[in-house]
Amino acid sequence: MLQRRTRKTWLLPEGESVLNEISRCNVRLTQLAAQMNFDTIQPDIPINYMYDGLHPSAYGVNMMEETIRHYLRTNKVICSSFSTVPSFSSTIVSPPPLMSINL
């Protein structure tokens, strides 16, 4: 699923129209997932963990990875006993937000 963002891209202008377009795309993706029988994963990264209002910070990327890892384990797609990579979220305390964005 697409994340909320506050910065413009080459495809979309900035502001409310970006958020509306992201919401519209997510609704269509959810409909497509239901029709084609696949799951979507939404990490829900808080906007203040987006490095520049568009890209996730290192902590935001770790949040995405942990969300995907949790989904895969919960749905028995992978076996946690075979995982040799330590969970990053268990070793790092949540850092303070990089920036404050009022929506």
Per-residue pLDDT of the chain (103 residues; tens, 9 = 90+): 556 655 555 555 666 777 788 789 889 999 999 999 988 888 778 877 776 667 788 888 888 899 888 888 888 776 555 555 555 555 555 555 555 554 4
CA distances 27 to 2, 86, 102, Å, are: 10, 34, 24
**Residue with structure tokens 């970006």?**
18
CA atoms within 13 A on the CB side of 36: 9
**Given this model, what pLDDT does residue 103 score?**
47
A 10 A CB-CB count for 56 gives 19
For residue 83, give the 3-state DSSP assignment: coil
Contacts of residue 101, Cβ cutoff 8 Å, sequence gap at least 6: 6, 47, 48, 50, 53
